[in-house]
Amino acid sequence: MADSICRALRDGALEGELAPALTIKDSVASPFALQVFSHVLSQLFSSILAGKSQSRGLVVVSFSRSPSFYLDLLKNKGTDFASSNKQIQILDCYSDPLGWKDQLAGSRNFTALSNEVLVSSTAIVFREVKHMDKLYNSIIELGKGLVGGGKIRFSIAIDSVDEMLRHAPVSSVARLLSNLRSHDQISSIFWLLHSDLHEARVTAVLEYLSSIVASLEPSHQLANGQRGDLENFSLIKHNSKKGKFHVRFKKRNGRVRVMSEEVHIEQSGINFTSSPSEGAINQGLVPKVQFGLELSFEDELMFLVQVQFNLQLSEKERIDKANVVLPFEHQGFILHHLMASIALESLVLTLLALGNGKPIQIYDGRRSLVDSKHERPVAAVENVQTDENCGSGEIIYFRDSDDEMPDSDEDPDDDLDI
């Protein structure tokens, strides 16, 4: 599934559509977004180097890690920078985001260290992170410097939107991201977000701007207010090594697909396991949703709020459910089934044949006067056809017509203290 994210970013934007945008979000309980971000970045960059992607260059906007972190990362993946530094540029918003070093250098004896040759050839220091318009221009300029003008596209990686949101209002950040997405030279864009640093609405704004949302959640939820006990410690230990990885794809037509994997964090890197196996602690508590299936929006919502019941039925439960006769099925039982399968024209003929002289009644929800004489006076409790071998169900239905009618001049809400 992590592969499908990388594929989506690699394939890039369709003509006349916005560029695919990915939010990678995490929380303090499962803080592995940077590892996922690094994984996606190195995968995308190797596709760019191999010429397999739509984009021909990558601009990394680094806020929370130094440019050398990314260069080391790519070097460890076997990238040869002698030939490839024409395909990556880093906008360094990490080293001096507010221009403090610049100010200090101007006012006193302050000598900033000179960067390594490699860093200085691929990274450009940006000192005005509060100005989103300037940031936008710098990103586009860097990208155009990589791929030139025209129709050749490039990709953008922003290593945390959190820092941007600390320096600028949500609206400016949203405008910047939206403008980047809709720029006709952008192939794909992805960013990192620590969701617990922001209000839910801010996270929602960024998710609306993305076509793919990858979120990391802890494998085991900690009980609130019970910090410090040993049970929690063992959960923390579990959560420090692995987490749940959910990906939500939004298609152009609005269809949403949710998939889930498990991530394992190892010294060597990050591993994705396709079949999530629930730990013993959570078993039976979490919804057993079949991931990888196409879920409807409602299903997805149910899943997101973590409903605490089964969404699937066992075989026995399924049979029991099938045996429950719903209140409106009590008459014209055959008819109900027939109507589902027979065209209307032939229905009349079939009814005549089946009726065999006796009238078949179609229940219309009202109580007929004839029936009422033969029925029990309290309520119409429908008999249910039961099969002795199977379980049975019964729904007791009180018709509206059996309700006690209020006296004509009596206010039914009289007893309410309004």
Partner 1 sequence: MNQRPSNLLDEALGLDQVIEPWPLRGRVVAIEDQVETSGSFVLHHLVKRSLSPNSSNVTIFIAFSQPFSHYDRILRKLGCNLVSQRDNSRFFFFDMLKLQCPDGDEGITPEGGLIALYGKIHKTISALPEISWKNVSIIIDDLSLMEVAANGSSDYVLDFLHYCCTLTSEFDCSLITLNHEDIYSSEDRPTFFIQMEYLADILIKAEPLATGLATDVHGQLTVSIKGQNKVSNFHFKVKENVVECFYPGRSRGL
To partner 1, the closest distance from the beta carbon of 367 in angstroms equals 55
160, 194 Cβ separation under 8 angstroms: yes
To partner 1, the closest distance from the beta carbon of 238 in angstroms equals 9
Strands 212-218 and 58-62: unpaired
**Among 193-201, 300-308, 319-327, 354-362, which window interacts with partner 1 (CB under 8 A)?**
193-201
201 in contact with partner 1 (CB under 8 A): no
Restricting to residues 34-63, name those near partner 1 by CB under 8 A: none
Restricting to residues 209-268, name those near partner 1 by CB under 8 A: 226-230, 233, 236-237, 240-241, 265-267
Strands 58-62 and 154-158: parallel
Q: CB-wise, 72 or 80, nearer to partner 1?
A: 72
222 burial level (CB within 10 Å; 0-12, 13-18, 19+): middle
To partner 1, the closest distance from the beta carbon of 58 in angstroms equals 21
Q: CB-wise, 9 or 123, nearer to partner 1?
A: 123
To partner 1, the closest distance from the beta carbon of 240 in angstroms equals 5
To partner 1, the closest distance from the beta carbon of 265 in angstroms equals 6
Q: CB-wise, 16 or 228, nearer to partner 1?
A: 228
To partner 1, the closest distance from the beta carbon of 18 in angstroms equals 29
172 in contact with partner 1 (CB under 8 A): no
391 in contact with partner 1 (CB under 8 A): no
To partner 1, the closest distance from the beta carbon of 75 in angstroms equals 16
Q: CB-wise, 3 or 196, nearer to partner 1?
A: 196
Partnered with residue 190 across adjacent β-strands are 22, 157
To partner 1, the closest distance from the beta carbon of 225 in angstroms equals 10
Which residue in 18, 69, 124, 402 binds partner 1 (CB under 8 A)? Answer: 69
66 in contact with partner 1 (CB under 8 A): yes
Instruction: Write down how long the chain is.
Output: 418
**Among 37-45, 158-166, 322-330, 341-349, which window interacts with partner 1 (CB under 8 A)?**
158-166
Restricting to residues 305-324, name those near partner 1 by CB under 8 A: none
Q: CB-wise, 13 or 165, nearer to partner 1?
A: 165
Distance CA 161, CA 169 (A): 11
Restricting to residues 87-146, name those near partner 1 by CB under 8 A: 94-98, 100, 103-104, 106-111, 113
398 in contact with partner 1 (CB under 8 A): no
357 in contact with partner 1 (CB under 8 A): no
Distance CA 340, CA 347 (A): 10
Q: Where on the chain is the footprint of partner 1 (CB under 8 A)?
A: 28, 31, 66, 68-69, 94-98, 100, 103-104, 106-111, 113, 162-163, 166, 194, 196-199, 226-230, 233, 236-237, 240-241, 265-267
